[in-house]
Amino acid sequence: MSKNSHDSAHTHVAGTSEFVDDRPIMRGELFMDVVYSTHAHAKFTLDYSEALKDEDVVAVYTAADVHHNVWGTIFKDQPLIAKDVVQYAGEAVALVVAKTTVAAQYAKQKVKVNYQDLPAVLSINDAKKHNSYIADKRFIERGDIKSAFAKAKHTLSGEVVIQGHDHFYLESQVAIAYPLEDGQVEVHSSSQHPTETQHVVAHCLGLDAKDVVVQVKRMGGGFGGKESQAAPIAAMAALGAIKLNRPVRLCLTKDDDMVMTGKRNPFQNLYKVAFDDDGVIDGLEVELFSDGGAYADLSTSIMERAMLHSDNAYFIPNMKVAGQVCKTNHHPHTAFRGFGGPKGVATAEIIIEKIAHHLGLDPLEVRNKNVYRDEDGRNITHYNQIVKNNCLPKLFEKIEKDCHYKKRRSEITKFNQESDEFVKGLSITPVKFGISFTTRFLNQANAMVIIHLDSTLQIATGATEMGQGVNARICAMVTSEMGLERSHARVMPTRTDKNANTSPTAASSGTDLNGAAALLAVRKIKHRLSEFASLLLELPEARWPSKTAGLGTEAEIAIKTRNLDSNDPNEGADWKSGKATYFGVEFKDGVVTCKGRSINFPDLIREAYLSRVSLSDYAHYSIPGIEFNKLEGSGNAFLYFTQGVACSEVTLNRDTGEVKVDQVDILMDLGRPVNLDLDVGQVSGAFIQGMGWVTTENLVYNDQGYLLSHAPSTYKIPNIQDTPRVFNIELLENDENYANVRGTKAVGEPPLLLAISTWTAINNALTYLPTYKDSYPEVRIPATSENVLRAMAPQAFSKWSTP
């Protein structure tokens, strides 16, 4: 295993990595499938008598079999299994348990569901019309917005339409539940939030949390889709296991998974912007509306992050943002990489593009005039948080030079004047992404570190591995602290009986929270071992515990007892090495040294054990300084900001609307990376996923709200041919971030938002067409080939356009 490789890279390549559905089938194990609604909103009745006649069918369960049939991440408003009325197409109405997977699939087709349709709300506009909302409208306001518009030289207004986006993780929602003695149950789940899964299982089954253990070894992708929506799948499997006292496996097919589960929330955002002749924004009013689906899920928190990112990288002295989640009869939409951030950022960036077009300026010039800067107080967000370690001006300056922006802009202008077949566009967009949960109590984690007598380590945290490499990062932090190779330690599967009350692995904070907790835990061990080593190495070897402990001829080497708990993972650490030193003892390359004398690490562990020095410890970490008042919309919402810029160049085919991404240059500020290779991998993967969202991934529903594009044959995710022909990624050198553990910055979500540069580049290309000499194109997300072609010739397609 190389120094920077993913911890499971070798098992992935060999095909030996175990995912939930790879677990061996146990004797007596049964298989579950879900009968779900095909109607958006209807009363219904069930007849499953035919299914029960099948000799391979063991049971059918309905809402009547669930102890507590309501769950929810923020609001408890969603039934595990619908009773009498369905609220969306894809909602579970019954569970079929059979002896084989195939038998369960056939049996569910024998369940008859009779519908009596009710009025359905299937769009944001419908929700507005019927005042169908989830929770109250929220506001964040700074300055005097009315005055800004009253004195403005220029104003623009418009609407930004952003459709949904499927997670398309390779491993579908899956869980296996094993009944244990005395009414207990162990659930293996593909979940980003084992603690919530544990609580939902316990609540729905009428169990105590102490009787439910949830384990997550790894996921085959998550991207937010398994933050909340894995929990009811686990509860369904556990219901069968408890009722039948046999293991029950529930693994959705890709089609069923896509139909049943929520997506990235669609948004429709209204805006008004006031600016001067130079494009400097003085006032911005944004009203955000999202489609939350039939139940709340995480939509209110997603809306909050969208509101907090509606400024993106720009200082706007007078700003008002409103956010309202709409209740519709779609599947409950949920977390997705970037949470609500992409919707706020996309709105901010298209506003910049429209201002530039209106004034006849280059969009990069307008961006540079509005970007957050440290001088003149232009570094305070609309929610009154100072943008510390602001690298945005530096990022803009460097990427403009490195990607030869001005030269390429000139070449593109010339190309577009000469070509009748293609049109090119170019755009640079930034991201300033807040890192940490906006709900304060979620910003906590715990970890346990064990050193065994052979000197190898086991690390247990609440982080879940969904392919992003969080385990490799945490392992590297812990082993580096002890001066060991990464192969010396293993990060264990996440289990609720080892790490309880954990937060989801989300908000880009998995390494931040759990890595900090693991460092705090191992430093308590290191502190004891350092003190012990300093005393041990003063003695001749003949008096060491390995020579005397068995006979008890020497007194134990006693270290002082003290409270070693801390909440600062950087306490006592050298910023260059990131390591803390105690008692003048150095841990390096498997050797422990003090005052010129050394001992090998395995020998030190043996001596410490014989002197009854604790070789394991636990630590808890909570992010300090999170002081955002949700009611006032003011305060420090984030620990720090990950920043970056991307330049995208695209070519559009005038005859077909086909989009080719010719070149992308990305420059990211990730502080001091823990694992450079994994970070670059995350940047590239996130960008490509975001590029799919803004260009090809189109969700199509019928008039009953049933998803029609529910397979790779009808839902176009990016493939290798869609990646940029030239793809450059560089990380900015930044040693000035002192907020986070070891000066790192999170990478999971922020790069996805840079893919918005592809969308703005498409719009930029269209502005070269005569159609948009005096207006700006209105291309929604995703800018599919069809949408681009319609934008190229709006009159030709007007008779097919829908309002």
Q: Does an H or E element contain 156, and which?
A: strand 154-162
- Whole-number mean pLDDT of the chain? 96
pLDDT digits (tens, 9 = 90+) for 745-756: 999 999 999 999
Of residues 335, 305, 340, the one with CA closest to residue 438 = 305
Strand 30-36 to 248-251 pairing: parallel
pLDDT digits (tens, 9 = 90+) for 542-551: 999 999 999 9
Share above pLDDT 90 across residues of the chain, in percent, rounded to a whole number:
96
CB 654 within 8 A of CB 420: yes
Average pLDDT for residues 553-581, to the nearest whole number? 88
Per-residue pLDDT, 795? 83
Distances (CA, A) of 417 to 159, 252, 407, 770, 793: 30, 52, 16, 11, 18
Examine the pLDDT at 796 and tell me if it is beyond 90.
Answer: no
Q: Which residues does 72 contact at the CB level (< 8 Å), separation at least 6?
A: 78, 295, 296, 297
Average pLDDT for residues 456-484, to the nearest whole number? 97
Please give the class, per CATH, of domain 444-622.
Answer: alpha beta
Amino acid at 247: P
CATH for 393-436+639-803 is 3.30.365.10
Q: Which residues does 199 contact at the CB level (< 8 Å), separation at least 6?
A: 209, 231
Examine the pLDDT at 563 and tell me if it is beyond 90.
Answer: no
Per-residue pLDDT, 47? 98
Examine the pLDDT at 469 and tell me if it is beyond 60.
Answer: yes
Average pLDDT for residues 8-24, to the nearest whole number? 95
pLDDT digits (tens, 9 = 90+) for 316-371: 999 999 999 999 999 999 999 999 999 999 999 999 999 999 999 999 999 999 99
Does the structural domain 19-119+171-253 have CATH classification 3.40.50.300? no
CB 583 within 8 A of CB 531: yes
Buried b (16+ CB within 10 A) or exposed e, 5-21: ebbbeeeeeeeeeebbb
DSSP 8-state class, residue 183: G
Buried b (16+ CB within 10 A) or exposed e, 225-254: bbbbbbbbbbbbbbbbbbbbebbbbbbbeb
Per-residue pLDDT, 327? 98
Q: Which residues are marked as active site?
A: 749
Domain spans of the chain, in order of start: 19-119+171-253, 393-436+639-803, 444-622
Three-state secondary structure readout of 329-386: CCCCCCCCCCCCHHHHHHHHHHHHHHHHHHHCCCHHHHHHHHECCCHHHCCECCCCCE
pLDDT digits (tens, 9 = 90+) for 73-118: 999 999 999 999 999 999 999 999 999 999 999 999 999 999 999 9
pLDDT confidence bin for 800, thresholds 50/70/90: confident
Q: How many residues does the chain have?
A: 803
Average pLDDT for residues 454-470, to the nearest whole number? 97
pLDDT digits (tens, 9 = 90+) for 405-447: 999 999 999 999 999 999 999 999 999 999 999 999 999 999 9
Tokens of 769: 């067409």
Of residues 294, 366, 374, 379, the one with CA closest to residue 334 = 294
Rounded CA separation 472/462 (Å)? 14
Examine the pLDDT at 803 and tell me if it is beyond 60.
Answer: no
List beta partners, residue 460.
448
Distances (CA, A) of 699 to 708, 714, 725, 777: 8, 9, 26, 22
Rounded CA separation 98/81 (Å)? 18
Per-residue pLDDT, 596? 95
pLDDT digits (tens, 9 = 90+) for 616-633: 999 999 999 999 999 999
Q: 393-436+639-803: same fold as 19-119+171-253? A: no
Tokens of 473: 């990062």
Examine the pLDDT at 226 and tell me if it is beyond 90.
Answer: yes
- Report phi then psi at 130, rounded to 5: -100, 10
Find how far residue 661's CA is from the centre of its chain.
25
Distances (CA, A) of 723 to 209, 687, 720: 46, 10, 6
Place of tokens 């130079």: 278
pLDDT digits (tens, 9 = 90+) for 103-114: 999 999 999 999
For the whole model, what pTM was predicted?
0.97
pLDDT digits (tens, 9 = 90+) for 683-721: 999 999 999 999 999 999 999 999 999 999 999 999 999
Rounded CA separation 445/435 (Å)? 15
Cα-atom radius of gyration of the chain, to the nearest Å?
28
Examine the pLDDT at 267 and tell me if it is beyond 60.
Answer: yes
Per-residue pLDDT, 561? 67
